[in-house]
């Protein structure tokens, strides 16, 4: 029997994630009672007849707004009844648009080709800038909602100061540690420190979000990561 491997995700967790993303979009669609603005989204799903709607930026303005203002984590899942974490909401948006891309990747429709450029992180197209701004605003508004709740934010992690990092970096610049691997460790150490110990957050940073703190001599970036105190 011939075996086949493709570039599409095949793990159970990835398939479950895609199913969940589609389910959330269906919940959003059904909550709109067919019309959002002047768009008719009745029956819209991931299928070719709905190409024009699925590649319309306005759809994702409403989808993002619904994820921020209306959607709550369902019963039976951790955080039930609460807002989505900022990065989770953005992940749902990106995942759904990736599903749209997989469906219409070969489309010759000009509007579709332009829309799908939004997923190209290295592009300076209008679509890419639009989606970057949509992600930023989604994260920012969700973080503001979470901060405005009565839950106390977790501030328990100890601070690591610049002079401590400098001592560690100095150790990696000794004669015994000048190989390429040491340089990579220095970069990882600096990046992780700047990201408050959460190296995975680097995937959510863009150049437009970066700034320079001239007083402390470091990079400043806003991280949309909520963590409330648990008892």
Q: What's the pLDDT band for 83 if we cut at 50, 70, 90?
A: confident
Is residue 11 within a helix (H) or strand (E), and if so which, with residue range?
A: none
The rounded distance, in Å, linking the Cα atoms of 154 and 79 is 15
Place of tokens 């590649």: 55
Token pair, residue 14, equals 């990835």
pTM above 0.85, yes or no: no
Tokens of 199: 């190296």
First-to-last C-alpha distance (Å) of the chain: 53
* Domains of the chain, residue spans: 12-147, 162-221
pLDDT band for position 89 (50/70/90)? very high
- Name the least confident of 49-58, 69-78, 113-122, 155-164: 155-164
For every residue of 49-64, DSSP letters joined together read GGHHHHT-HHHHHHHH
Instruction: For Cα atoms 5, 11, 14, give the angle at the middle one, nearest 5 degrees.
Output: 120
47 close to 100: Cβ distance less than 8 angstroms? no
Each residue's pLDDT tens digit, 145-182: 877 776 665 555 566 677 777 787 777 777 565 666 77
pLDDT in tens, 213-228: 787 777 776 666 555 5
């Amino acid at each position: 029997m011939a075996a086949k491997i493709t570039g599409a995700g095949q793990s159970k967790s990835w398939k479950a994630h895609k199913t969940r993303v589609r389910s959330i979009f269906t919940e959003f669609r059904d909550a709109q009672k067919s019309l959002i603005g002047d768009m008719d989204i009745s029956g819209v799903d991931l299928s070719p007849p709905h190409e024009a709607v699925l590649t319309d930026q306005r759809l994702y303005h409403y989808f993002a707004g619904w994820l921020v203002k209306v959607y709550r984590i369902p019963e039976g899942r951790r955080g039930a009844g609460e807002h989505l974490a900022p990065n989770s909401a953005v992940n749902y948006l990106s995942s759904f648009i990736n599903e749209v891309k997989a469906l219409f990747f070969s489309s010759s429709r000009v509007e579709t080709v332009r829309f799908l450029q939004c997923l190209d992180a290295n592009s300076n197209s209008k679509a890419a800038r639009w989606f970057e701004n949509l992600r930023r605003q989604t994260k920012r508004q969700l973080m503001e909602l979470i901060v405005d709740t009565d839950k106390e934010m977790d501030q328990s992690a100890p601070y690591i100061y610049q002079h401590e990092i400098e001592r560690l970096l100095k150790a990696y610049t000794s004669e015994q540690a000048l190989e390429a691997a040491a340089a990579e460790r220095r970069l990882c150490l600096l990046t992780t420190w700047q990201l408050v110990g959460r190296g995975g957050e680097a995937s959510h940073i863009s150049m437009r979000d970066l700034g320079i703190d001239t007083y402390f001599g470091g990079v400043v970036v806003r991280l949309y990561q909520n963590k409330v105190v648990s008892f």
